[in-house]
Amino acid sequence: MCLPELLCVVLALQANMFMSRNILANIKRIDRILKLCWESPHLVYFATESLKRYKSRKNSETYKNYFNINKTYRDIFLKKKDDITKAETSLSRLCEYFLRS
């Protein structure tokens, strides 16, 4: 794990653990994560999950893009998760087939 990914993990944990009244602190953390680790959908999705606590009409209108990022990265994350699960299942079947003989 490289340093930017480690920093992204820490920022994502902070975004989900520390609840403040102001949404801007989490928005800044999410921006930093998007700049450093945009290619890691699991980190971005984990960080944007913290926005659910700030869901209100005003925040939804003001920070609409961030709520959309959450939906987009959620779909990407779930697709990758399904692909990994299918690959593990296929690999275990293949191992069973060859190791039985």
d(CA 36, CA 57): 29
Most confident of 4-8, 35-39, 65-69: 65-69
Question: Contact 12/28 with Cβ under 8 angstroms?
Answer: no
pLDDT (0 to 100) of residue 60: 85
CB 49 within 8 A of CB 70: yes
- What pLDDT, on the 0 to 100 scale, is given for residue 101? 57
Average pLDDT, the chain: 83
What does the alpha-carbon distance between residue 99 and residue 101 come to, in Å, rounded to a whole number? 6
Q: What pLDDT, in 10s, does the model give residues 16-43?
A: 777 777 788 888 888 888 888 888 888 8
pLDDT for 1 beyond 70: no
